[in-house]
Amino acid sequence: MAAADELAFHEFEEATNLLAETPDAATTSRSDQLTPQGHVAVAVGLGAEDEVEDSDKTSLLQEEKQQPGFWTFDYYQSFFDVDTSQVLDRIKGSLLPRPGHNFVRHHLRNRPDLYGPFWICATLAFVLAITGNLTLVLAQRKDPSIHYSPQFHKVTVAGITIYCYAWLVPLALWGFLRWRKGVRERMGLYTFLETVCVYGYSLFVFIPTVWLFGALALALSASGLVFTLWPVVREDTRLVAAVLLSAVVLLHALLAVGCKFYFFQPLPPEHITPPPQVISLSPNTLLASTSPRTMVT
């Protein structure tokens, strides 16, 4: 260790002796010679990083500016960019609503989609039309007097009804909440697509129970809507919140009851063949009808 120390400080001892002999001599260090180059190298490195950051910002700004318009196909393509696991998770969340579990916060996560609501509405419309026709077929087997013919118009009626409900009701609800947010600033607000997504997934529960359209399916679907909308409307007055949630449940119940009575009528009046009527005639009527003939003969 001593030999190492002597070797480590030997250079400094020689430099001290030279300075003592020539005090006016100027000394230069190797580090001093490399310092300007080092500074230049650092400066160049920082400049390169700044250029990379500037290029990244420029590319991001260009991407933001190049967003397609809402009239183009590319604009709506992002709303269908979901995988099967996400759709199944959102369907599961709509089937099992519970208090304190917000569907938008826990399942949508600021990424609403139109893929699930679109195909749920299409499936529900076809299932309604098909099961409505099957109901008439079964009724005809029980009563042969019923004349059955395929009712293809029910597909159109079911599609228009379901899609109008899944789009127009969320639009009216979103507009009302947006207006109330201007009155009471503390209120939260869902986007229009989030509202459509909530209503679309809430209709899935009617597909497996479409034959009965029972109270259980209506209760599950309506409770999911109430639990999702409650965090938004609770900041409003109690009267407005109660009226709004009651209107949401009432419209949902009208949809279920209307579909029940329109698509599942077991004996439609226009498809029942009336029984033949037997008219009994009295003897006096028969004599009156035959007497002119006897006088002519």
Per-residue pLDDT, 211: 64
Per-residue pLDDT, 115: 93
Per-residue pLDDT, 70: 64
Structure tokens at 160: 């228009």
Shortest CA distance to 251 belongs to which of 212, 218, 229?
218
Per-residue pLDDT, 57: 56
Provide, rounded to the nearest whole percent, the portion of the chain with pLDDT above 70. Answer: 63
* For residue 189, pLDDT beyond 90: no
Instruction: Please state, in angstroms and rounded to a whole number, the distance separating the CA atoms of residues 249 and 227.
Output: 12
pLDDT tens per residue across span 80-119: 888 999 999 999 999 888 888 889 888 888 889 999 999 9
Instruction: Please state, in angstroms and rounded to a whole number, the distance separating the CA atoms of residues 44 and 36.
Output: 12
* For residue 294, pLDDT beyond 70: no
* For residue 286, pLDDT beyond 70: no
Give the list of residues 6+ apart from residue 268 with CB closer than 8 angstroms, or none: 136
pLDDT tens per residue across span 208-230: 886 665 678 888 899 999 999 99
Average pLDDT over residues 174-183: 86
pLDDT tens per residue across span 125-143: 999 999 888 888 887 787 7
Instruction: Please state, in angstroms and rounded to a whole number, the distance separating the CA atoms of residues 158 and 115.
Output: 19
pLDDT tens per residue across span 5-60: 445 545 555 555 555 555 555 555 444 444 444 444 444 444 545 554 555 555 54
Give the list of residues 6+ apart from residue 177 with CB closer than 8 angstroms, or none: 187, 189, 190, 232, 233
Give the list of residues 6+ apart from residue 225 with CB closer than 8 angstroms, or none: 198, 199, 202, 248, 249, 252
Q: How far is CA 54 from CA 43, 65, 69, 93, in A?
A: 16, 16, 27, 43
* For residue 2, pLDDT beyond 70: no
Per-residue pLDDT, 263: 84
Structure tokens at 287: 């004599």
Per-residue pLDDT, 280: 57
* For residue 291, pLDDT beyond 60: no
Instruction: Please state, in angstroms and rounded to a whole number, the distance separating the CA atoms of residues 220 and 225.
Output: 9
Q: What share of the chain is helix, strand, coil (3-state, %, to 5)?
A: 75, 0, 25
Please, which pLDDT band fits residue 157 given cuts at 50, 70 and 90? very high
